[in-house]
Amino acid sequence: MASFKFRLQKVLAYRASCETEAKNLYLAKRSEVLAIEAIIGRIKQRRLDVLSEPRSALDHFRHLEAELLRLDDEEREENVVLSVLNDEAEALRISWTRHKQELETIEKLRERAFDGWTYEMNRREQAELDEWSVLRRAA
């Protein structure tokens, strides 16, 4: 019995590699987004820590104001970076989804081709068995 050979196997392999690459790019970008979100969380926690410190002198309040302004600037910068990264991650997610759909399309074609091949092999085997039984009865 001949083995199944999918005529678009190279296309299937190419699409699988494209899908894997797109997924890896998306996941890498998501990890960058999560890292920036963690930085923003640390900035917010630092702000809470600074605000909870007891202050009594005017110099302490000036230091507090300067520290809060610095933290606000840092958070604003990180939010800009986060916005850009989120946009890039969304574009990569869309690309990954498109590559995934293309791969699934080729996989469905492969399944259909395999089903057709299996049907043809079963039909040939049945024809051989029918011929064998006819020859055996004739003998």
Q: What integer pLDDT is reported at residue 138 of this predicted model?
A: 66
| Alpha-carbon gap, residue 89 to 30, rounded angstroms | 6
Q: What residues contact 2, with CB distance under 8 A and at least 6 apart?
A: 121
pLDDT tens-place values along the chain, 139 residues long: 679 999 999 999 999 999 999 999 999 999 999 999 999 999 999 999 988 888 777 778 888 889 999 999 999 999 999 999 999 999 999 999 999 999 999 999 999 999 999 999 999 999 998 888 888 776 6
Question: What kind and span of H or E run contains 32?
Answer: helix 9-52
Q: What integer pLDDT is reported at residue 139 of this predicted model?
A: 61
Residue with tokens 């040939």: 124
Q: What integer pLDDT is reported at residue 134 of this predicted model?
A: 83
| Alpha-carbon gap, residue 2 to 98, rounded angstroms | 35
pTM of the model: 0.78
Q: What integer pLDDT is reported at residue 13 of this predicted model?
A: 96
Phi-psi region of 57 (alpha: psi -120 to 50; beta: other; left: phi over 0): beta
Length of the chain: 139
